[in-house]
Amino acid sequence: MMIEIQRAVELLKSGNHTLVLINGTEQWASDERGINPLFELVTMNAELVRGATIADKVIGKAGALLAVFGQIKSIHAQLTTHAAIKVCLNNNITITYDKVVDAIQNRDKTGNCPMELLAQDISLPTEMVNKVAVFLKSIH
C-alpha cells in the first residue's frame, strides 16, 4: 500500500496534476481544480475507485466523505483538515499528508471553501454525494 501511495504522490508532483488515482496497474490523473474530478471518479467509475489509492492536492471533509463513498483505501493529501483525517480514520482509510489545517480556504482566501461549508454538518457519505451533485449543477 505504501508503494502505491509513493507512486501516486510522485505522479501527482511530476505530472503537475491535481488528483491521481492508482489501483493495481490502473492509473488515472486529472488537472482539473476543485472537487469535481474526485466526485466524478467516485460516482461514475466505481470499479476503478474501489480499493484504490489517491493523491490529491487538497482533501477536506467533503473529499474524505467522497472517498468513503467510493471505498478508497488510502489517500495522500498535500493539504488536509483535522475533520478529513477524522473521517478517514473512522472509516479505515489510511491518510498521509504534507500539511494539516483547521479549514480549507476558498480560492480568494476570504473564507472557507464552499465544500467545507457544505460538509460541516454531514456525516453520511451518500448525503455528501447528493450535496456535491446539487452544488456542481448550480455552478455549471
Q: Read off the pTM.
A: 0.96
- The model's pLDDT over 46-55, given as tens digits with 9 standing for 90+, comes to 999 999 999 9
Write out the three cell numbers for 12. Answer: 501527482
What is the reported pLDDT for 82?
98
Residue at grid coordinates 493539504: 79
Distance in Å from the first CA to the final CA of the chain: 36
- The model's pLDDT over 37-96, given as tens digits with 9 standing for 90+, comes to 999 999 999 999 999 999 999 999 999 999 999 999 999 999 999 999 999 999 999 999
> In the structure, what pLDDT confidence band is assigned to residue 1 with cuts at 50, 70 and 90?
low
What is the reported pLDDT for 140?
77
Residue 115 Cα distances to 16, 36, 49, 67, angstroms: 23, 11, 21, 14
Residue 100 Cα distances to 6, 85, 88, 129, angstroms: 19, 9, 14, 23
Domains of the chain: 2-135 (3.40.140.30)
Report the amino acid identity of residue 95: I
Angle at 91 between CA 85 and CA 93, to 5 degrees: 65
Sheet holding 74-81, edge to edge: 26-30, 19-23, 53-59, 74-81, 94-101
